[in-house]
Structure 1
């Protein structure tokens, strides 16, 4: 069965297309194209971006957040022409891809970056397969929207069998710049943490454990100059968590037929966010991690961190909607979407 489509959809069949939003008022720029071939052109530019009822400016690849899906193949000789339409230096780093150092795309390490108005051609042979992604390695451009999925198909038949697939990119969006966030964190490391322990917490600890143990515990954390609730440098106070570029209210939806084996390719592109992934009522079988096939492991939940990818197989038997829930480690926010047999569920 031929696999194709942006975000892992089967573009040739209308009923299989994901529903990006439930009304025009919630619609945001989201990838609708898949790019393949031996020569691919990409542009980096600023594009208006809607987050629910708010309009912002994203830094995009080919005008969308996430950027277009690259569908490549193992053994392919690829040329990727990246043009920078920004007023600042930019770059593209091919995360996890084996390639010559000068093609890695990290400014200041093996190349100077892509100057405003310039085009840089990345040329390399693809020596692997699996679920990967690419993103800017310049300033705060990645958080601003410069990221996109990349699926590399194997030369040999894929050992993982499935009927349908979806890419699920998890990211964090902020209306504040990366520079302003770093400035705040340098002045106060717990600036975004609104879950700090209070006097009432100390009293509860003392009533449970005794006054001396509670005091010793607090003094231990004070000597380390650490906060036991500091699980994320930046929390849901500043971040809106996105799934395939959509907020929870916009409800990204992937369609299925009951009984199908569905491959979900999770890609965590958040700058500093860890998330716990679960699909209530539906078990998952992990079949790949960071592009490498693994011995299948059945799980009800898994934790994913920045830059990690996990491929899972799910087999929904019932004709019902399932929520894909990605909650942050500190429980301050979440991204979510839906698997459903028909739109609007």
Structure 2
């Protein structure tokens, strides 16, 4: 076995320190010495945004926008706490933003318009510094708004992994894989069936007594899928040997849907959620990922054969969301076995003996959908109104908050708070502790409660990670008083 990083611990949970922008916001000062040093030295990482062709299989080559000539972009490995210089070059005709999802960094470099991060101008470049952290699986992606243009924002191929090494090196595995679940060529539809949100059997604690039955506006769908840049059956299989241990970093890079995935014939031991080690690792038959979520698993390769790792929904899997896993010396037809059906439950990974810290203040949020509220599309409300909410959510630095999310809609929403980590306290009435995340799926007509400490001064965007929902009002800006 090869000894590698230990994903069962976070090294240094302290938050990242200040970062440096090349161009400050109005009213901010800059350090000429640091800027000069950054401009004269070679960047540690360069991301070039440009048109790319993605060959999902021999019969399907699509055109999109990606990073460094590919989609997904390169895996970026960084060291926790070691400041790096990043240069983003934009070879397209539209302004762009690169968001560092799950990083605890200042709002100026977080990569969102709402927080005041500068755009990378068309045919221009932007250089900045950030201090990576915390350790674990993070990712980067476009945060540009798309609205009714399905060739912008996270509908494109602008996404990639960031892995932040924490310094511990006692983990044991033989192969490390970074696998992004992805849908392509999105389209508007009025008949989309949300069969894979996995929460329709949960308690409907927040279902209104009177449900709005107005016709829905157009939603976004897809019929073409892949893991990374290849559809099932195309490209090289994942080649393994009996007795090996695989470390797999899963990412749901979809802008459209939550997903469930399994490796036929094998259990997966969940060791981290959103890059943060779980208190109680568990073996599961399948993992469920909301858009933007990451799940790290260890798989013991103890069942020789040729298997399929893919979506549990037959239609989605056969439309490309899968990859073949082939043991050495095996030459069989790839096999799929439906895993037992079960409801994904965050709380099984919590610490049964721990109690959540007592919050000092509570923030209540209610999510609502207005069918057709934005013309052809639905609109989304937080506490009865769409973005921007002015100064409704004002945090006091150092205060421990409880954020209650009440979902009064018929969708499961992957909610993300930028620049903070939160601890899951309750999901649909089931209490837990010790599970640290940056994105949580609030169930269909359900409720999720998280606790977080306000220790990242600046602006922080809170939003649903489904692109269309965010674009049409499903976001709010948290600010510090």
* TM-score (structure 1 length as normaliser): 0.71
Shift of 1:108: 3.7
Which one of 266, 276, 285 corresponds to residue 282 of structure 1? 266
Is residue 117 from structure 1 mapped to residue 123 from structure 2 by the alignment? yes
Which one of 172, 194, 197 corresponds to residue 183 of structure 2? 172
Which residue does the alignment assign to 2:94?
88
> How many aligned positions are there?
270
> Is the 8 Å Cα contact of residues 137 and 162 (structure 2) preserved in structure 1?
yes
Which deviates the most, 127-136 or 60-69? 127-136
Q: In 1, Cα distance between the equivalents of 2:265 and 2:129?
A: 45
> Is the 8 Å Cα contact of residues 267 and 310 (structure 1) preserved in structure 2?
yes
Which one of 250, 254, 275 corresponds to residue 291 of structure 1? 275
Q: Say which structure is richer in helix.
A: 1
Which residue does the alignment assign to 1:44?
49
Q: Deviations over 1:298-345 (max 9, x none)?
A: 1111211100000011011233222112235xx652311122224976
The answer for unaligned runs of 5 or more in structure 2 is 6-41, 147-151, 196-207, 333-481
Is residue 192 from structure 1 mapped to residue 192 from structure 2 by the alignment? yes
* Structure 1 stretches of at least 4 aligned residues deviating more than 6 Å after TM superposition: none
Q: In 2, Cα distance between the equivalents of 1:164 and 1:118?
A: 38
Which one of 295, 302, 306 corresponds to residue 287 of structure 2? 302
> Is the 8 Å Cα contact of residues 102 and 110 (structure 1) preserved in structure 2?
yes
Is residue 106 from structure 1 mapped to residue 106 from structure 2 by the alignment? no
Which residue does the alignment assign to 1:318?
303
Shift of 1:49: 2.7
Q: Deviations over 1:177-202 (max 9, x none)?
A: xxxx3xx5xxxxx333499xxxxxxx
Q: In 2, Cα distance between the equivalents of 1:148 and 1:129?
A: 16
3-state SS in 2 of match to 1:131: strand
Which residue does the alignment assign to 2:10?
none
Q: In 2, Cα distance between the equivalents of 1:222 and 1:101?
A: 40
Shift of the 314–285 alpha-carbon distance from structure 1 to 2, 3 Å rule, reads same
Is residue 162 from structure 1 mapped to residue 173 from structure 2 by the alignment? yes
Q: In 1, Cα distance between the equivalents of 2:98 and 2:163?
A: 16
Is residue 249 from structure 1 mapped to residue 233 from structure 2 by the alignment? yes
Shift of 1:62: 0.2
Higher relative contact order (CA 8 A, sep 6+): 1
Shift of 1:291: 0.9
Q: In 2, Cα distance between the equivalents of 1:324 and 1:107?
A: 37
Which residue does the alignment assign to 1:144?
156
Task: Give the CA RMSD over aligned residues.
Answer: 2.9
